[in-house]
Amino acid sequence: MTSCFLKKKTNGEKDKSVDERRKEEEKLEEMRRDHQRDEPPEYEYPEVKEPTESAKKRREVELEKDKREKIEQGFYQMRRDHQRDEPAEYEYPEVKEPTESAKRRREVELEKDKREKIEQGFYQEHSDEDDTLEPIKSLKEEKTEDSQTMQERSPKSKHKKEE
The one-letter code for the residue type at 79 is R
d(CA 129, CA 30): 89
Work out the angle between the directed axes of helices 145-153 and 155-162 (0-180°, nearest 10): 70
Instruction: Specify whether the backbone of 76 is left (phi greater than 0), alpha (psi in -120 to 50) or beta.
Output: beta
Q: Are 123 and 117 in contact (CB under 8 A)?
A: yes
Domain boundaries of the chain, sorted by first residue: 54-78
Q: What is the pLDDT of residue 152?
A: 56
Q: What is the pLDDT of residue 71?
A: 84
pTM of the entire predicted model? 0.23
In this prediction, residue 163 carries a pLDDT of: 45
> What's residue 55's pLDDT?
93
Label residue 9 left, alpha or beta by phi (over 0 means left) and psi (-120 to 50 means alpha): beta
Selection from 103, 104, 125 nearest residue 116 by Cα: 125
The helix/strand/coil state of 74 is coil
- Count CB-CB contacts under 10 A for residue 123: 9
Q: Cα–Cα distance between 157 and 48 in angstroms, integer?
A: 80
Residue type, 99: T
Looking at residue 141, the DSSP 8-state letter turns out to be T
> For the chain (length 163 residues), average pLDDT per consecutive 10?
52 66 88 68 77 93 92 73 62 80 95 89 64 60 56 52 47
